[in-house]
Amino acid sequence: MKILNKILFFILVLLLITTVVISLGIFFQNTYPKITVNGSDTSTTTVGIEFPFKDDIVQGEITISLAPYNGAKVNGTKTSRTFGDAWDAEKYYLAISNDPAQDEMYAALLGFFDDYAIKHNLTSDEYVELLSTYTQSIPYQTAGLEVKFPIETVIDNWGDCDDRSVLLAGLLSRKGYDTGVINFENENHMTAAVKGGNETAYGNTSYSIIETTRYAYIGEISDVIRNETSTGNFSVYQIGEGQKSYTASYEVSEILNAQKEAYITIQTLYDELSTQLAVIKEQEALLRSSWNMALYREYEQNIDTYNDGITTRDEYIGLINTISSGSYDREEVYQTVISMM
* pLDDT tens string 300-322: 999 999 999 999 999 999 999 99
Alpha-carbon dihedral of residues 272, 273, 276, 282, nearest 10 degrees? -130
Instruction: Give phi and psi for 247, each to the nearest 5.
Output: -110, 5
Rounded Cα gap, residues 69 and 155, in angstroms: 8
Which amino acid makes up residue 84? G
Distance CA 104, CA 96 (A): 15
Amino acid letter, residue 54: K
Instruction: Please write the tens of the pLDDT for every residue from 39-67.
Output: 899 999 999 999 999 999 999 999 999 99
The residues pairing with 190 across neighbouring beta strands, listed in sequence order, are 183
How far apart CA 279 and CA 284 sit, in angstroms, is 9
Pairing of strands 189-195, 207-210: antiparallel
- Rounding to the nearest 10 degrees, give the CA dihedral for residues 137, 143, 149, 155: -50
Amino acid found at 95: A
From CA 319, how far away is CA 263, in angstroms rounded? Answer: 10
Give per-residue pLDDT as tens, 15-27.
Answer: 555 554 444 444 4
d(CA 33, CA 331) in angstroms, rounded, equals: 39
10 Å CB burial of residue 125 (0-12, 13-18, 19+) is buried
pLDDT at 19: 52
Tell me how long the chain is. 341
Report whether pLDDT(242) > 90: yes
Rounded Cα distance, 298 and 302, in Å: 6
| Model confidence band, residue 341 (pLDDT cutoffs 50, 70, 90) | confident
pLDDT score at 24: 47
pLDDT at residue 188 greater than cutoff 50 = yes
